[in-house]
Amino acid sequence: MFRNKISAVLITAVLLLVGLGSGLIIAAAFTSSATTTTATNDWKSEMAALDARLAGLPAQQQTFVLVSKKTTPAVVTISSERVVRMQNSQFQIPDELRRFFDDDFFSDRQPREQRQQGLGSGVIINPDGVILTNNHVVAQADTIQVTLPDNRTVDAEVVGTDPDSDLAVIRVKEKGLPYIEFGDSDAIEVGEWVLAIGNPFSEALRHTVTAGIVSAKGRSVNMNITYEDFIQTDAAINPGNSGGALVNMKGELVGINSVIASSTGTFSGVGFAIPSNLAKQVMESLLQHGKVIRGWLGVTIQSTTNEIASALGLDSPRGAIVVDVSEGSPAEKAGLKRGDLVLAINGEEISNSQDLTNRVGAMAPGASVRLNVRRDGGPTEITVILGERPSNLTAGGETAPSEESDSMLEGLGMQVRPLTPEIARRLGYEDEQGVVITGIRSGSVAERAGLREGYLIQEINRQAIRSVNDFNDAMRGLEPGDNVLFYVRAGRNGGYFALRVPNN
């Protein structure tokens, strides 16, 4: 009997222990769930704890894991869609040929609508749903949707865009979102570790993190935008990463990933990000004014080459040469002249024309700046009161074109370039003459007519076109409402395009 009592006690004790253990397990599960929910709902507290943890570590011991955990929730997926009108036939038929055919012949050549979808990334920069991304991610989009950190997809609206820097600000109607704080892009050093975060190739790969170093600063990569001051990195950036974050080892935003240099279209070790200081300035102006307000000199400039530097008596190429001064501009009022070599602004040396453009653009209209200028072999100082940069200036509006530079016919919305041997070989136009279309403005007369980049213009109103000067001469004197007949080649095919000069 005594044994039975002991057995009963033991069994009861075991059951109690099992029950207690189960209760602890269940309680732990609920505690874990509650902790997860709290961490999700109180992201700022978690990030504050992470900040403290990072601050307590020596720089060399800060890990990619901690920085990734801190920053990836604030990088979102941006999906865009727009409807474009496409021509079924490659070339439009001129009106003078239509009278030889009945209407059925042209029935299958009517424009059709096609939906184009885009994928990119964005960075939440405050908890109230403001997102920074690239202009080319959302440009001309009819609808924009954002996939948030909790996998919800919500609609977004465009606050403002800035094609001159390839930046845009969009907003979602959400509060309490995780965000990344701005870092000082001027303070980062070549060789410093950085992480790139985005959605390469597919939404299924969102929150991809890649590591690399800052390879160089102050890069210009000829993206046909005005303000180029890129951070170069070897952290892997691929299609879909555009608009994503480049962060330093403190988890601060130091760049917006924008473009890669590659012969294949995929990452090959050279990527570029827009510096955070420039991005912050553009963002704040878009939020406050709906546009970017920049300083303006009103000059056309170019960089010095070794040959030009030698001719000017310089020991090395530096500064920006004034090629032209706009009538009535701040530069003209201050006395700048063609041939002046700008070597410094407010005491800071100018390395090239892009450097001067960036510095002036970062200043406010009305600012007084001192230009150190070399004129006729001697130094002089000129004070200029900056104006506001006109919104209708094309990309590179203060930078002089090179021998292969572009000429824009604003009314029709096309950009052309001389047919060089290299371009002719690449596009298959050997032994041809004309000018190559290198840019078509979205929504322009040229785009609606079906003209595309890469087409070769050989005639305008039956006149042969052999150079950009011929092109400009043919355009000169046209009035609103005039019809212009282009003969164009696209590879081996040729055809006519009729365009009407718009009224505005």
- Residue 217: exposure state from Cβ atoms within 10 A (0-12, 13-18, ≥19): middle
Sign of CA dihedral 118, 124, 125, 131: positive
Q: Which residues of 394-429 are buried (b: 16+ CB within 10 A; e: fewer)?
A: bbbbbbbeeeeebbebebbbbbbbbbeeebbeebeb
Given 242, 258, 407, 444, the catalytic residue: 242
Residue 257 · residue 235 · CB < 8 Å: no
Given 79, 121, 136, 229, the catalytic residue: 136
Per-residue 3-state assignment (H helix, E strand, C coil) for 338-390: CCCEEEEECCEECCCHHHHHHHHHCCCCCCEEEEEEEECCEEEEEEEECEECC
Given 166, 229, 340, 406, the catalytic residue: 166
- Is position 166 annotated as part of the catalytic site? yes
- Residue 295: CB atoms within 10 A of its CB come to 21
CA 109 – CA 495 distance, rounded (Å):
14
Gyration radius from the chain CA atoms? 30
- Residue 343: CB atoms within 10 A of its CB come to 19
Token pair of 445 as six digits: 């007369």
Q: Which residues of 38-49 are buried (b: 16+ CB within 10 A; e: fewer)?
A: eeeeebeebbee
- Is position 315 annotated as part of the catalytic site? no
- Is position 289 annotated as part of the catalytic site? no
Strands (E), 237-316: 245-247, 253-260, 271-275, 295-296, 299-303
Q: Measuring CA to CA, which residue among 265, 259, 22 is closest to residue 135? A: 259
Residues annotated as catalytic (active site), given as ranges: 136, 166, 242
